């Protein structure tokens, strides 16, 4: 699966994140989701979370350095 915003491949944690209100998958990478996380509450699988999924890490720099 890919992020609907930037087309980045989603990891397992990102691919299972769902909207609390309608239970639909949001299909956004952590970098893109971090820009709206205060406005969109989600349900996730904490057991799948990786260090790179923690909000607050500068994802844009990390991802641009890995390309």
pLDDT at 37: 84
Query: Mind listing the pLDDT tens digit for each residue in 9-66?
Result: 999 889 999 999 999 999 999 889 889 888 888 888 877 877 666 655 454 444 444 4
Record the pTM: 0.70
pLDDT at 66: 45
Tell me, rounded to whole angstroms, the distance of Cα 60 from its chain centroid: 12
- DSSP letter string, 2-57: B-TTT-PBP-HHHHT-EETTT--B----HHHHTTTTTT--EE--GGG--GGGSBTB
First to last CA, the chain: 18
């Amino acid at each position: 699966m890919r992020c609907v915003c930037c087309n980045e491949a989603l990891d397992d944690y990102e691919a299972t994140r769902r909207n609390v209100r309608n239970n639909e998958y949001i299909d956004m990478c952590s970098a893109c989701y971090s820009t709206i996380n205060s406005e969109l509450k989600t349900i996730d699988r904490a057991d799948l979370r990786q260090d790179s999924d923690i909000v607050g890490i500068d994802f844009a720099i990390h991802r641009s350095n890995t390309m």
